[in-house]
Structure 1
Amino acid sequence: MNERGKNILPMIGFILIVIVVLGGFAFFSRKKDTGNFKVIDNTRKKSGFGYDIDSTGKVSTDGVDKITIRSVSSEVKIATHKSDQVNAHFYGNVIGFNKENMPYLEVEKKGNEALVRIVYPAKTGLNITENTKLDVVIPEDWNRNIEVISISGGISADQLTGNDITLNTTSGKIEISDIDADGTISASSISGSCNIDKVISDNAKINTSSGDTVVGYLEAKDIKFKTISGHGKLNVTVKKAELNSTSGNIDVDFTNGFEKISAKSISGGVKLGIPGTTEFTVDLKTISGGIDCQDFPMKISSSGKKELKGQVGSGGSEIDVSTTSGNIEIYGLN
């Protein structure tokens, strides 16, 4: 190789190094824009092994009867605004090696559904740590369906309104201040607690596993509550209640009259507070536990250490409780 070629090679190598270094700090920007939705991805590579995630998207709710939010490994926070659009912001940082492995935001309209979701590509490398959040803003006067599914991340909101509202988490908390559902509110949490300050709905379904449940006030026609390896503390106004617990206590106050309460517990107690003026019948059974129903003047039809059947007043309402290794207590509310 001649002398001139030898001098050019180091220069070419230097230029390539500069390109690689500068490329490490470049923005990876992509846009997806149609008449119905828009997504802008400004994810940026940091120095070292990592990326700053920063994506925004929006979709119109015109002709939509359901908002669906699906998230993975991110905290989901839902807020409201006066617009008829759904806006989403996905942000945070991920320590990893390849841009192709980075999660990204998708916002689109599919038929009559407005969809917001976090997508993880098929991985060919390794993401070491993730710290990301998904903020979603929906119309404040929304009166149709909402479904939120989060894996390895919690769900929080100040207020949710709609027809049927579904909240599901795995390894994450549910924390909602106010829910107003014309249809059914369904909340399910696996390995996470469920805390709701106020719920007004036609029907309510709450299921938790490996997490406690606290509901400050719930008003509905009926409630179905089930907990496994967790305690439940609820204050409700309902006509019918089905309560089930495995390895956890149930503590429910019924603030108004009811038609029927059915409760079953395995390895956990059942504690029910009802208005002191309520007239009802009881059928209480326990295998290994005590029974306490002393606040009410009861006409007893059958009793023993592990069983109590009787009637308060003229009856009317029904209470049916059975436990295995748990106490039963029914007390009066002033």
Structure 2
Amino acid sequence: MKFIEKFNIKKVVIYLLGIMFVTLGLGTLIILGTGTNLMKGTHSNHTSVNDSKTSNLSGINEIYVDVSSSDINIIPEGTSQLKAHLYGDMTSNNKYTNSKIQCYKSGNTLVIKQVEPHINFVFFSSNLKLDVYIPADYNKDIKLVSSSGDINVNDYKLNKLQCNLSSGNLKMNNINADTFNYLSSSGDLKADKLTTKTTTLDSSSGSININAFSGDLTAENSSGDTNIEYADFNNNINVHSSSGEIALTLPKSAEFDLDAVASSGDITTDFPITVSGKDGGHKLQGVVVNDKNKIKLDVSSGDIKILN
């Protein structure tokens, strides 16, 4: 009798009904979101995207490109107008509207933005690309933002270049900019012939590789190798890495003051250095010829190499 008294049948029934309604609700959401028909199965929607916009650059000091799921290609053109062309294929197992681009002026900024389709609870894939044809003689500011896609930019002389990537790779070739800023959550940076006055790099996860480089450098790389090769050198350098090797290649004629710390790793250099501090191979301080240029390298887990 005591067991029967404790066993409340009414409560059990209520709990079971609650579980049933929650299960039915979730199932309905999934079916509606994925476009699944219990009688016909799952269908898929495929479409091709082809959208373009043009704009003149009169009074424009900055070109701002912001996309979510497309690769960005910045292409120099011998014209006076800018043209943006979004193209590729999209596939989903639910209905959606095509991705498009907006192109409008906001003050002295020309904004080029990708407008994504509204899709919920679906499988979605795309191979979209955004080609932005910018006059080759444009020499002001460019800002590129990508949530999920690669960025390629070549052959420009600019005042400022800024590239922000959440997940994707940045490739650059023959870029001359007074200021270059790079921010990446996950992806690699590869640059050849990069000439700047100041460069700032901030990478959470990914490798940094720059060849034929010049300019003052500040870099933070949380996880990944950092390889910088200078074409000519008369600069200050400050590089920190939490996990990854730092390799710095300088001309044989380079002169600098060095402060290098590898908490868990080795430090090696090809330069004859007048040492002022050394700690078991994990710390190296000294001067090569003179201390006009300052080089500070700090790695928590990894080696430091200074090459010529």
Q: Same fold (TM over 0.5)?
A: yes
Deviates more, 1:71-80 or 1:206-215: 206-215
Q: Structure 2: 5+ residue runs without aligned partners? A: 1-42
The one-letter code of the counterpart of 1:215 is: I
Runs of 4+ in 1 over 6 A off after TM superposition: none
CA gap 1:280/1:116 in 2 versus in 1, 3 angstroms? closer
Deviation at 1:180, TM superposition (A): 1.3
- Pairing 1:206–2:201 present: yes
Deviations 1:227-251 (A, max 9, x none): 1211111112341111011111111
Aligned to 2:95: 98
Q: Distance in 2 between matches of 1:48 and 1:294?
A: 60
1:227/1:245 contact within 8 Å kept: yes
Counterpart of 2:156, as a letter, is L
How far, CA to CA, are the matches of 1:135 and 1:292 in structure 2?
44
Q: What does residue 68 of structure 1 align with?
A: 64
**AA partner of residue 80 (structure 1):** P
Match of 2:132 in 1: 136
Residue from 186, 192, 195 that aligns with 1:197: 192
RMSD: 2.6
Q: What is the alpha-carbon distance in structure 1 between the residues aligned to residue 259 and residue 212 of structure 2?
A: 26
How far apart are the structure 1 equivalents of 2:288 and 2:173?
37
1:308, distance to aligned residue in structure 2 (A): 4.4
Equivalence for 1:268:
none
Q: In the alignment, what sits opposite 1:80?
A: 76
Matched, 1:289 2:265: yes
Residues 100-139 of structure 1 aligned to structure 2 (within 5 Å): 100=97, 102-123=98-119, 126=122, 128-139=124-135
Contact kept, 8 Å, 1:286 with 1:322, in 2: the verdict is yes
Counterpart for residue 160 of structure 1: 156
Partner deviation per Cα, 1:249-304 (whole Å, 9 max, x = no partner)? 1111123xxxxxxxxxxxxxxxxxxx3x5555544444443444575263x45544
Q: TM-score, normalised by structure 1?
A: 0.70
Alpha-carbon shift at residue 51 of structure 1 (Å)? 1.4
Alignment of 1:226 with 2:240, yes or no, is no
The CA deviation at 1:66 is 0.9
- What is the alpha-carbon distance in structure 2 between the residues aligned to residue 307 and residue 158 of structure 1? 38
1:116 shift after superposition = 1.2
Alpha-carbon distance in 2 for matches of 1:284, 1:109: 47
Matched, 1:324 2:285: no
TM-superposed deviation, 1:50: 1.7
- AA in 2 matched with 1:232: T
Quote the sequence identity (%).
25
Deviation at 1:69, TM superposition (A): 0.8
Deviation of residue 141 (structure 1)?
Answer: 0.3
User: In the alignment, is the contact (CA less than 8 A) between 2:249 and 2:306 conserved in 1?
Assistant: no
**Gap regions ≥5 residues in structure 1:** 1-46, 256-274
CA distance in 1 between partners of 2:61 and 2:102 (Å): 19
Aligned mates of 1:309, 1:201 — CA distance in 2:
27
Letter in 2 for 1:224: T
Question: What is the distance in 2 between the residues matched to 1:48 and 1:241?
Answer: 53
- Describe the shift of the 1:201–1:129 C-alpha distance in structure 2 as closer, same or farther (beyond 3 A): same
Quick check: 1:147–1:166 contact (8 Å CA) kept in 2?
yes
Residues in 2 aligned to 1:314 and 1:145: alpha-carbon distance in whole angstroms: 36
Distance 1:201 1:124, change over 3 A: same
Higher relative contact order (CA 8 A, sep 6+): 2
CA contact (8 A) 2:48 2:89 kept: yes
**2 CA distance for matches of 1:158 and 1:123?**
34
Aligned match of 1:8: none
C-alpha distance in 1, partners of 2:257/2:106?
A: 51
In structure 1, distance between residues paired with 2:234 and 2:254: 14
Cα distance in 1 for residues equivalent to 2:273 and 2:181: 37
Looking at structure 1, the residues matched to 270 and 74 of structure 2 have their Cα atoms a distance apart, in angstroms, of: 45
Deviation per CA, 1:158-190, whole angstroms, max 9, x where unpaired? 323321111111211101111111x31112222
TM-score after normalising by structure 2: 0.75
Count of equivalent residues: 262
Q: CA deviation at 1:63?
A: 1.3
